[in-house]
Structure 1
């Protein structure tokens, strides 16, 4: 398993992608002109979550560096654990560069698990940019916790979690909480992680997680106000394939550290292997931006060049870490490698997880 995810680990650590960008075919790319055009960036989640925050941050700068400086608007199309908006893109997008798609682990997981709601084929698309992210699990101080060191207090609590669905990115906390032995009621059907956070703020749920960008923007203020208690980050992977602390949240223990605090030993066994597989697909290879499969190479190259150019923009350099965390957004062969790793899973792990969802949670693929 370690060698399988080597490229992904490098990105999880935020290593530079210099020299790995695809040849941009400069003359052909220069002929692409989006003057006077409006580009729709489909985000298959509700507003306010990590994917929405990621897209809106990138959209303004992307518009600046695409030739002709078109208008780039983010269009939220939530539903079906993100399959609704992704199916819409697959059915409607033309190969002219005027509709692009941003996906997350919540879009990849139904695909990986063979969810019948999926009417899209990842391998038919062309990737323009990919970026890893992290995430932080937090709870309410009303449960009596003051910090990560108190996590054992949750063992005898009744926890409620607002989930987009068992085959969404929320599969990672589902597998993780189960591995930790927490008593968690997963309430399925929320449109996005932003909706889950709002349910937490209303007191309807008492444990939640947000991806890094949404956590920084919307949860950190709750922590500072004493209204939320961070527990652990999912962590990142180093070159040796080990889970280490997320550089965006260096003071927080990782999932593995939290597990060791609870049990006295490191996680292992088939259940951890399943968790680890989906964690890898869901976070080191989480955010990706696609164009339809028939899009001309010069348009794809134009998007890739725009993403590379914007990373040198002073506004990007000044704000990227505070919005996205310390993660590198990449193009070219490295993005392609992430694409392949994030949309591939061993058949035996797929079967193991599907059977667990059916037997433990009464969830059949295609149902939330």
Structure 2
């Protein structure tokens, strides 16, 4: 199985972040906070979980799914409500949360890859700093790229048939989660025209089904629910997944789609060699990591007392281990390990860190190729 080809120093650094942590997973051990939580209770209170996206989206569904279990395991069993604050591709609500600096144990923030991306890119609208937050839950996801059968391409090994053709991707925005695919398509050699302005990946899927888009991807839950039936009906052909991260920070096959190659495998199948180590590859890996293995994160502001942060870390670890949640998680969480404790810290670090050379490369790519001014 093909892994990443980072330089030695970066590989050692990323192994330091992840070694053992993700493998241990959320079920490995619950934080011991006896004494730290003594006397701390949220009984009779309401926790407000800020989601900087509109109602009905993936982050909203994720938070509402976890809210019941979080309330069940926090000291005093408080009511947990979700507050949607959409705007600016999640920047508006996140800025507001950061500026309020909540420290009463009653305010939680849920972010997504599209919140991480502007931060990594140095977007001037961003007024939040991830170093001011502590992760208490990190939820991975995956993504699958697919095309229509009309191209006559049966699998990724036949992808070179498309190198001389222009493909169309319905795109939710150059600094959205779709940036990962933009970088990937650029690396692998596909000519893709990006039609920006889509409001959601649900809208991009409909564009594909109408024949307006000729390549698309969906995150795991949407792919399972909406695209697998198309594959079974012969109206969509899966090419590759974006992959997952193992305990050594290598990109490996997505556990939800083990029969599909991940992006780096696809690249090697097409070109006969792994991609060269350089800013382009490092940029892809950075935004992939922020957008998929650490896509959704629940965080507290660091101004909260240590006992509050530990109470949340413990509550989420217990929630993830709850048999009822495990039984119900399939449609919302997929077949991925939910990270708490040290595993969450490790993924958080990977998702909020980028090599400066890679950052500059992406900024130049967006400015020169898509007229994006950050």
TM-score of the superposed pair, with normalisation by structure 2: 0.85
Aligned 1:200-239 pairs, distance under 5 A: 200-239=208-247
Flag the 1:256–1:103 CA change in 2: closer, same or farther, 3 A.
same
What SS does the aligned partner of 1:138 have? strand
What SS does the aligned partner of 1:328 have? coil
The answer to whether the 8 Å contact 1:45/1:192 transfers is no
Inter-partner Cα distance in structure 2 for 1:108 and 1:46: 17
What SS does the aligned partner of 1:24 have? coil
Residue in 1 aligned with 2:98? 90
Residue in 2 aligned with 1:114? 122
Inter-partner Cα distance in structure 2 for 1:225 and 1:59: 36
2:41 maps to 1:32: yes
Inter-partner Cα distance in structure 1 for 2:330 and 2:312: 22
Q: Deviations over 1:335-364 (max 9, x none)?
A: 223222221212111111111211222222
Deviation, structure 1 residue 315: 1.5
The answer to whether the 8 Å contact 2:156/2:270 transfers is no
User: Which residue among 331, 334, 337 is the counterpart of 2:340?
Assistant: 331
Inter-partner Cα distance in structure 2 for 1:221 and 1:7: 41
User: Which residue among 309, 316, 333 is the counterpart of 1:307?
Assistant: 316
Flag the 1:82–1:20 CA change in 2: closer, same or farther, 3 A.
same
Flag the 1:339–1:136 CA change in 2: closer, same or farther, 3 A.
same
Higher mean displacement: 354-363 or 200-209: 200-209
Aligned 1:41-52 pairs, distance under 5 A: 41-47=49-55, 49-52=57-60
Deviation, structure 1 residue 43: 2.6
Higher mean displacement: 119-128 or 296-305: 296-305
Residue in 1 aligned with 2:141? 133
Residue in 1 aligned with 2:257? 249
Aligned 1:146-157 pairs, distance under 5 A: 146-157=154-165
Deviation, structure 1 residue 191: 4.0
What SS does the aligned partner of 1:360 have? helix
Q: Which runs of 5+ in 1 are unaligned?
A: none
Deviation, structure 1 residue 25: 4.0
Residue in 1 aligned with 2:11? 2
Q: Deviations over 1:129-161 (max 9, x none)?
A: 123332212233344444445433432333222
Aligned 1:159-198 pairs, distance under 5 A: 159-198=167-206
Residue in 2 aligned with 1:298? 307
TM-score of the superposed pair, with normalisation by structure 1: 0.86
Q: Deviations over 1:241-300 (max 9, x none)?
A: 543211111011111122123222221142223212322333333321112232222222
Q: Which runs of 5+ in 2 are unaligned?
A: 1-9
Deviation, structure 1 residue 238: 3.5
What SS does the aligned partner of 2:177 have? coil
Residue in 2 aligned with 1:284? 293
Inter-partner Cα distance in structure 2 for 1:99 and 1:204: 42
The answer to whether the 8 Å contact 2:282/2:355 transfers is no
Residue in 2 aligned with 1:318? 327
Flag the 1:239–1:120 CA change in 2: closer, same or farther, 3 A.
closer
